[in-house]
Structure 1
Amino acid sequence: RNVPCENETKIHLGWCLIDPKTVEKTLPMLTELGVHKITFIHCRRSQQNFRLDFERFERIMESSIMQCGRTSLIELAESPALGTFLDENPDSVILDFCDNVLQHGEKMETVVIGCEGGFDASERKLFSAHRVRSLKSPMILRSETAAVAVISMSL
């Protein structure tokens, strides 16, 4: 069977940079969930010594698509700063702590997830023109858990 197997919704994850080893563990789940693109964002609280190995990430995704039946790899990109990313993706929904809870199936094409420690005050000032949502959970989630949860809710 040579029919493409992809999600109808092309979700773009703006993911503030975390430890690449954690990204490697999470990539198979994001591949299976049908994420179209991941842009790794260098945020104020991201550790600056992390180096992304896109070739390694692609090998991990290739193994994952063989198991789940997906027919394409997640597109990978990098952004130097959150402000740059938001300028390039003005319709982004931002996951942060607030009173506006993300609803299951809420329409979003691009979602931004913070790194460990979350966003700093200067980054939060950039959010005024964007939808900011939280998850309906009293727990503070790790970045990778939040990414999987938000993508799952968008399906």
Structure 2
Amino acid sequence: MQFSYHPQAGQHEITLEGELYRHLYLSRRTQAQEVLAFRNLLDDTLYFYAQVGVYKKHACLRLLESRYTPKRPTHQTHLIWALIAHREIEKVLPYLNQMGVCKISFFYAQYSQRGDFGVRQMQRLERILIASNQQSGRSDLMALEVLQSTQEALQAYPHAKVLDCNAQASTAPLRNLEQGVFIGPEGGFCAQERQLFSQREIYSLPNPLILTSEGAALWLGALGSYALPSI
């Protein structure tokens, strides 16, 4: 783990309790003389704390120093991803985060699985991202949002492209991922949605294999992470 997340990191004194306390002192067996590194994921600073008191259910720490150490993605890949089963999103989200995807805009497509994707689900995804950041060292938190329809997503991102394996597509390389790329759900896009895409750049995969929705998201995340800075 590269650092621990604490929302008050940067303050002169912080308190560790709950899950973070149990992880550091019961699972990792942190020694009293260790200096602990924290980020708040709001700035690009690493904050180093000394332990001044360790108790049965909490620990008190005091700030020693801070270092400006940005560790952000070198590209601005933005995925506009039709909602699929929550568990499938949760499986691949840490990898997309480590690949440097900057933003995911979830939306309800015609074939999306309907269900609750409210505050509790978004909080769960945020916890997954925080754990991924702690492992990878990433200093910013990936942006997430939910849009209610394909049409709303198109209006929000007028320059986004579309990845559609079942449509006549451009053979040109897929570039400028920071403008956003639409990914369909399991089953792809319906005929009505393809009509909405008529004025967009449509792309397909550079091979005949069909990916799952989450597989397409991973492919785009990897494509963005290896893109040249000038693209």
Same fold (TM over 0.5): yes
The higher relative CO (CA closer than 8 Å, separation ≥ 6) is in 1
2:162 corresponds to: 94
In the aligned structure 1, how far is the partner of 2:110 from the partner of 2:172? 24
The alignment's C-alpha RMSD in Å is 1.5
- Which is helix-richer, 1 or 2? 1
In the aligned structure 1, how far is the partner of 2:152 from the partner of 2:117? 19
Tell whether the 8 Å contact from 1:37 to 1:76 is kept in structure 2 after alignment.
yes
1:23 corresponds to: 89
Once the two structures are superposed, what CA deviation does each residue of 1:98-148 show, in whole Å capped at 9, x if it has no partner? 3424626x2222111000000000000011221110111211110011011
Q: Secondary structure at the match of 1:15?
A: strand
Q: Which runs of 5+ in 2 are unaligned?
A: 1-66, 226-231
1:49-60 alignment runs, 5 A limit: 49-52=115-118, 53-60=121-128
Query: Out of 80, 83, 108, which is 1:14 matched to?
Result: 80
- Which is strand-richer, 1 or 2? 2
In the aligned structure 1, how far is the partner of 2:116 from the partner of 2:153? 19
Which amino acid counterpart does residue 88 of structure 2 have in structure 1? T
Q: Is 1:150 paired with 2:220?
A: yes
Q: How far 1:51 sits from its partner (Å)? A: 2.8
Moved more, 85-94 or 5-14: 5-14
Tell whether the 8 Å contact from 2:76 to 2:177 is kept in structure 1 after alignment.
no
Q: Is 1:107 paired with 2:190?
A: no
Tell whether the 8 Å contact from 1:103 to 1:153 is kept in structure 2 after alignment.
no
TM-score normalised by length of structure 2: 0.63
Q: Is 1:136 paired with 2:199?
A: no
In the aligned structure 2, how far is the partner of 1:118 from the partner of 1:50? 21
In the aligned structure 2, how far is the partner of 1:47 from the partner of 1:128? 24
Work out the number of aligned pairs and report it: 154
Q: Is 1:62 paired with 2:114?
A: no
Q: Which runs of 5+ in 1 are unaligned?
A: none
